[in-house]
């Protein structure tokens, strides 16, 4: 039987990949890492560690009281408030969202509510940063739990990327602060960052002729980049970069990995010269759990079933699946299926369970039999939502995410380039 993470506010020890998830998220807010769950082994770089906190009264409150408070505060704040809920967020939280979507859909959705003074983002840190960059100056963006980071985003910190850029530019014989096109009119290298990255890295791309991509438009963005440069430095997710470039025909030998802990990223100068895509050594702890063996097992147990996975999954998994696509593409794939179809999905459990509930006339299940939610999304518990909404009603703005103008401006340049890049 598939256990739902949405039937309870906290997981029970026997359901999940880590029994410690049965505690409330506040039990790990003060921990140095990401807490128990899929991301627990990933180091949190010092500059991006965001300790969270929840007043004790909210930690101890009955569930009914938390939900009563959320409803009351929402009613009191009316149009001054917009709540955004990510697809990977638990149902106890997204039931209050005015918009449900992926990170970029949500940042754009907030723009359709200009009367909202407060944007409460039930997602993770980089998403709230993007919403702040795209929103008006007089709007405030609130992240209910500051400890809700993203282990993948944190795998590429600004200092490591700056250091890599200097090394790479030295190999190509260009000034890292002023990379100019060659006689062919192309840059030697151009940075591309996945949406799942800090505002500082989006700004880095904006300053160096680069661009942001999402999992929906990565191919379009790479086409844009290859029109302007001989090669790209793609961060933080190696899998999205590799899967996308491979589908475009780039040979694997021309996609060296850049390991920030090794000189030249662990490559020879020759490999860097011949490269088309330099892949940062980053990954999503949730999506890397999916395996080819799980796909084989699904096909054995459900002959004729279809398998769709997210492009943050490792390349062999994407190659073995029937289809791969962003969260939005997965939703559309399921919507286009027929009653009676069986679909195994390789993405975060909350989205899979929601799809299964939306389409009860077909069998939809997660490829991974162990429940392992995104452990940082999991940190947005209704207790945190109730607390920040009560604070807003009282005229205070807790956990505000503010991107300084010197970062927001170049980051917006990279985001605008992405918006202007259209598929051929």
Name the residues that contact ligand SF4, by CB under 6 A.
Answer: 39, 88, 124, 150-152, 196, 284-286, 348, 374, 376-377
**Residue 372 or 411 having the CB closest to ligand SF4:** 372
**Residue 99 or 283 having the CB closest to ligand SF4:** 283
Q: State in angstroms the smallest separation of the CB of 96 from ligand SF4.
A: 20
**Residue 240 or 388 having the CB closest to ligand SF4:** 240
Q: State in angstroms the smallest separation of the CB of 104 from ligand SF4.
A: 13
Q: Which residues are annotated as a binding site for [4Fe-4S] cluster?
A: 150, 284, 374
**Residue 321 or 351 having the CB closest to ligand SF4:** 351
**Residue 150 or 415 having the CB closest to ligand SF4:** 150
Q: State in angstroms the smallest separation of the CB of 34 from ligand SF4.
A: 8
Q: State in angstroms the smallest separation of the CB of 82 from ligand SF4.
A: 21
**Residue 15 or 348 having the CB closest to ligand SF4:** 348
Q: State in angstroms the smallest separation of the CB of 185 from ligand SF4.
A: 35
**Residue 193 or 285 having the CB closest to ligand SF4:** 285
Q: Which residues are annotated as a binding site?
A: 86, 103, 150, 194-196, 215, 284, 310-312, 327, 374
Q: State in angstroms the smallest separation of the CB of 151 from ligand SF4.
A: 5
Which residue is it, tokens 């960052």? 193
Q: State in angstroms the smallest separation of the CB of 277 from ligand SF4.
A: 19
Q: Which residues are annotated as a binding site for iminosuccinate?
A: 86, 103, 194-196, 215, 310-312, 327
What gap in Å lies between CA 424 and CA 413, rounded to an integer?
21
Give the per-residue SS3 of the chain: CCCCCCCCCCCCCCCECCHHHHCCHHHCCCCCCCCCCCCCCCCCCHHHCCCCCCCHHHHCCCHHHHHHHHHHHHHHHHHHEEEEEECCCCHHHHCCCCEEECHHHHHHHHHCCCCCCEEEEECCHHHHHHHHHHCCCCCEEECCCCCCCCHHHHCCCHHHHHHHHHHHHHHHCCCCCCCCCCCCCCECCEEEEECCCCHHHHHHHHHCCCEEECCCCHHHHHHHHHHHECCEEEECEHHHHHHHHHHCCCCHHHCCEECCCCHHHHCCHHHHHHCCEEEECECCCCHHHCCHHHHHHHHHHCCCCEEEECCCCCHHHHHHCCEECCHHHHHHHHHCCCCCCEEEEECCHHHHHHHHHHCCCCEEEECCCCECCCCCHHHCCHHHHHHHHHHHHCCCCCCECCCCHHHHHHHHHHHHHHHHCCCC
């Amino acid at each position: 039987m598939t256990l739902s993470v949405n039937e309870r506010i906290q997981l029970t020890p026997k359901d999940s990949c880590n029994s410690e998830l049965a505690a409330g998220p506040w039990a790990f807010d003060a921990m140095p890492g990401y807490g128990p769950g899929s991301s627990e082994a990933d180091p949190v770089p010092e500059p991006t560690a965001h300790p969270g906190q929840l007043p004790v009264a909210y930690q101890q409150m009955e569930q009914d009281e938390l939900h009563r408070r959320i409803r009351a505060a929402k009613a009191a704040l009316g149009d001054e408030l917009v709540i955004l809920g990510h697809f990977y967020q638990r149902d106890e939280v997204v039931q209050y969202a005015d918009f449900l979507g992926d990170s970029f859909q949500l940042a754009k959705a907030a723009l359709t509510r200009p009367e909202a003074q407060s944007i409460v983002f039930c997602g993770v840190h980089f998403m709230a940063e993007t919403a702040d960059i795209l929103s008006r100056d007089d709007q405030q963006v609130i992240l209910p739990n500051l400890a809700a980071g993203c282990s993948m985003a944190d795998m590429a910190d600004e200092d490591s990327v700056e250091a890599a850029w200097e090394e790479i530019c030295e190999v190509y014989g260009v000034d890292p602060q002023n990379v100019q096109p060659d006689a062919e009119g192309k840059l030697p290298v151009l940075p591309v960052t996945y949406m799942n990255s800090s505002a500082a890295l989006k700004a880095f791309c904006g300053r160096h002729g680069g661009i942001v991509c999402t999992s929906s438009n990565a191919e379009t963005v790479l086409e844009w980049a290859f029109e302007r440069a001989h090669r790209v430095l793609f961060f933080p997710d190696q899998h999205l970069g590799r899967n996308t470039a491979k589908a475009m025909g780039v040979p694997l030998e021309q996609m060296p990995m850049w390991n920030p802990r090794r000189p030249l990223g662990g490559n020879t100068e020759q490999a860097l010269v011949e490269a088309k895509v330099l892949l940062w050594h980053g990954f999503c702890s949730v999506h890397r759990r999916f395996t080819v063996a799980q796909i084989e097992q699904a096909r054995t147990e459900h002959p004729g079933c279809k398998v769709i996975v997210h492009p943050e999954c490792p390349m062999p998994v994407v190659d073995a699946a029937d289809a791969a696509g962003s969260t939005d593409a997965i939703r559309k794939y399921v919507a286009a299926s027929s009653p009676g179809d069986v679909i195994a999905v390789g993405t975060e459990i909350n989205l899979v369970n929601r799809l299964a509930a939306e389409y009860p006339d077909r069998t939809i299940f997660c490829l991974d039999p162990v429940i392992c939610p995104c452990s940082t999304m999991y940190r947005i518990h209704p207790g945190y939502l109730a607390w920040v909404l009560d604070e807003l009603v009282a005229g205070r703005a807790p956990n505000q995410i503010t991107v300084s103008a010197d970062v927001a401006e170049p980051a917006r340049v990279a985001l605008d380039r992405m918006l202007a890049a259209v598929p051929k």
